[in-house]
Amino acid sequence: MKKFYVTTPIYYINDIPHIGHTCTTIAADIIARLHRQNGEEVFFLTGTDEHGQKVAECAQEEGISPKEYCDKIAPRFSEAWKSLNISHDFFIRTTDPRHEKIVKKLMQKIYDRGDVYKAKYEGWYCIGCEKFLTETDLVDGHCPLHPTEKTVKKSEENWFFKLSKYIPQIINLIEDDKCNYVFPGSKKTEVLAKLKAGVNDISLSRESVSWGIPLPWDKTQTIYVWFDALINYYSATQFLENKKDFWPANLHILGKEIMWFHNVIWQAMLLSAEIEIPKKTYTHSFYMIDGQKMSKSLGNVISPGQLVDLFGVDGTRYLIARSFPSDNDSDVGIERFKEKYNADLANNLGNLVSRICKLGEGLKISNLNPSKSPFDKGDFVKLVDELRFNEAINLIFEKYIDKSNTRLNEVTPWRLETNDPTRIAVLTECAENLREAATYLEPIMPEVAKKILGQLKGEIKPMENALFPRIR
């Protein structure tokens, strides 16, 4: 059976899940479900990033140990994903000793390869990003992604990784259209430009951060949290049973602020350790909230729970897919979500389902033709597989849902007698269209799709409740 392995970034444990994390996780879930529907054996991994200075500071503020802090917070993410019907196969935590063991092993390989050296590092460190910034990265002395947090000057003796050694090889890999692992094209151009501008080696350990995995060859230092975190994608396949064949990953999905780590540093680490590199990475853009960057201090953070309370699980999944920030940043907000929900789901899809089920109650419809699988028709699958969810949904709405609503409005079956052949024909045709649409939409709205397919199995059954109640 064909294998498919998809991942999300592992989220920092100090934050609460918000719509930014939600969009990456839902995107990965849609892809995982699509590939399962296609008969592939899927491994879908998500989890939490639990080491590093940031976590240690949060634990200290609460007066508990870092591990206690992680055990308390990690469930917030796993529960959020459960509430959104995320179908991940494993939730990895970087404090899992099985992960730690593989991290040490991989780092040792890098050391044995002769790709490390000790040197002094001095620079501006952003705790929010857990990375060093250059003078040119700073805006008014602050990290542009964390303008309210302090950027600290750090100077320490660290172990360095010979990143620069692998740059020519990585440029070749990214430029090779056959391998084509940086997706979409706009992000590939961006990474290549940065690679060609010149790349310095980076430090792989920390002297002053004790909350981390000790370096195997120098116990006075801990492994830089990003090296530890990236290895999660590989470690899960090694310590879980029967998952080794899933490596190399087919797809890492991530946001643009961590593109350098995933498209350059991770590849260099794997090349150094002589491990196969992932087949593809997809870098998406950002959600903006009503034109502003989302931040705790602005108080405009949208949580997954807020969305589920308003729009239900599948309503939320749909709205996220519809507004997914693919190539460009996407501006969203609760009011816009409400408008979209009412227009697409309550008034269009929901209304179509309720009209068909009411008018067509008891009408027999043919069995689903098994040869008519959505996967025979490449366009939708191709769009979803490229995370172009908005275009994919448009395709289904135009082809089946809008078309059926228009047909119903033209033929007005509610004005015809129950046994009028024209009425029967139009309702059957629309029911079959709806069933087709539901099969396509299943990876995006699994429960709604199941419900629609249940309503239309063998004969049209009456609906008990509106699928998508209107929201004011």
Annotated catalytic residue 146: yes
Residue among 44, 239, 246, 287 that touches ligand MSP (CB under 6 A): 287
Residue among 4, 5, 11, 337 that touches ligand MSP (CB under 6 A): 11
What's the CA dihedral at 73, 254, 33, 436 to 10 degrees?
Answer: 130
Annotated catalytic residue 126: yes
Residue among 229, 307, 319, 426 that touches ligand MSP (CB under 6 A): 229
State yes or no: residue 29 binds ligand MSP (CB under 6 A). no
The interface region with ligand MSP, picked from 38-46, 118-126, 252-260, 434-442 by CB under 6 A, is 252-260
463: left (phi over 0), alpha (psi -120 to 50) or beta: beta
State yes or no: residue 365 binds ligand MSP (CB under 6 A). no
Q: Which two tokens stand for residue 230?
A: 């990236």
State yes or no: residue 230 binds ligand MSP (CB under 6 A). yes
Annotated catalytic residue 284: no
Q: How far is the CB of 164 from ligand MSP (least distance, A)?
A: 22
- Which position has the token pair 């998809």? 6
Residue type (1 letter), 284: H
> Of the two residues 265 and 353, which places its CB atom closer to ligand MSP in the complex?
265
The interface region with ligand MSP, picked from 20-28, 237-245, 300-308, 315-323 by CB under 6 A, is 20-28
State yes or no: residue 21 binds ligand MSP (CB under 6 A). yes
146 backbone dihedrals φ, ψ, rounded to 5°: -135, 65
Determine the Cα–Cα distance for residues 105 and 83; give it in Å rounded to an integer: 36
Residue among 33, 35, 37, 49 that touches ligand MSP (CB under 6 A): 49
Q: Which two tokens stand for residue 106?
A: 């991989």
Residue type (1 letter), 458: G
Residue among 195, 251, 294, 308 that touches ligand MSP (CB under 6 A): 294
Determine the Cα–Cα distance for residues 379 and 374; give it in Å rounded to an integer: 9
Residue among 4, 5, 6, 23 that touches ligand MSP (CB under 6 A): 23
Residue among 36, 149, 240, 286 that touches ligand MSP (CB under 6 A): 286
Q: Which of 67, 244, 296, 364 is catalytic?
A: 296
The interface region with ligand MSP, picked from 80-88, 181-189, 250-258, 387-395 by CB under 6 A, is 250-258
Closest CA to 162 of 111, 226, 229, 232: 111
Annotated catalytic residue 457: no
Q: Which residues bind ligand MSP (CB under 6 A)?
A: 9-12, 15, 20-21, 23-24, 49, 229-230, 232, 254-255, 258, 286-287, 294, 325
Q: Write out the catalytic residue numbers.
A: 18, 21, 126, 129, 143, 146, 293, 296
